[in-house]
């Protein structure tokens, strides 16, 4: 009896410590994207001067890395349910970006993202209270 219990506990520990990450969590794990545009709930449309300067990369372990123009950062992400997305705090560099940059816009609104959709190969991150959405395309 004790041996069986010890074997079960050992197997549970070994299985729980597996280093194999899940694949494509919610369709966004292990993917990288670049910003196409922001569509505000009030009809405002903002487009980056260079898509490659605004990126997000989701790792399967719940970590992410971002580039918001002249700044780079790291943070975390979690799925709370179907298409429900939450970001943890971002640790961003603090370089002052040139006029016209979308850095401040993204940095200010990042914590208000509440859901995501992958549609026609694009990732849409939606803000709470119909605040708008960010459209990203896959990085090549």
Quote the pLDDT of residue 28. Answer: 93
pTM for this entry: 0.81
At 26-62, the pLDDT tens digits run: 789 999 999 999 999 999 999 999 999 999 999 999 9
> CB–CB of 54/71 below 8 Å?
no
**What residues contact residue 140 under an 8 Å CB cut-off, 6+ apart?**
none
Which residue positions in the chain have pLDDT lower than 70?
1-25
Fold of the domain built from segment(s) 22-138: Lipocalin (2.40.128)
- Which helix (H) or strand (E) element contains residue 32? strand 31-40
Q: Are 59 and 30 within 8 A, CB to CB?
A: yes
Per-domain residue ranges for the chain? Answer: 22-138
Helix then strand then coil, in percent of the chain rounded to 5, is 25, 45, 35
Phi, then psi, of 11 in degrees rounded to 5: -60, -40
């Amino acid at each position: 009896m004790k041996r069986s219990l010890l074997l079960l506990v050992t197997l549970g520990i070994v299985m729980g410590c597996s280093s194999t990450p899940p694949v494509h969590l919610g369709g966004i794990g292990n993917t990288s994207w670049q910003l196409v545009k922001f569509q505000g709930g009030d009809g405002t449309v903002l487009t980056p001067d260079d898509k490659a300067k605004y990126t997000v990369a989701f790792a399967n372990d719940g970590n992410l890395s971002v580039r918001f123009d002249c700044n780079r950062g790291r943070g975390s992400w979690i799925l709370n349910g179907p298409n429900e997305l939450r970001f943890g705090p971002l640790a961003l560099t603090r370089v002052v970006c040139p006029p016209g940059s979308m850095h401040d816009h993204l940095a200010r609104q990042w914590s208000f993202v509440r859901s995501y959709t992958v549609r026609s190969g694009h990732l849409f991150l939606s803000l709470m209270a119909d605040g708008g959405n960010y459209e990203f395309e896959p990085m090549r």
